Amino acid sequence: MEEHYPIKDTFVEITNTLQAALDTDYVLGLLFATALISFIIGRMSK
């Protein structure tokens, strides 16, 4: 099983999301990134 580093994985995910946002519709991407970050923080703080 591959080792996972939550902080690094989260950072990579956010970076990919922001890059996708720049490639497509910036506002929609930003809203999606905000929702994704909120979801991750909510899941990690359980």
Is the CA virtual torsion 2, 10, 40, 25 positive or negative? negative
Cα-only R_g, the chain: 12
pLDDT at 18: 76
pLDDT at 21: 66
What pLDDT tens digit does each residue of the chain (46 aa) get? 567 677 788 888 888 887 876 766 777 777 888 999 999 999 988 7
pLDDT at 2: 64
pLDDT at 38: 92
Is the CA virtual torsion 28, 31, 10, 19 positive or negative? positive
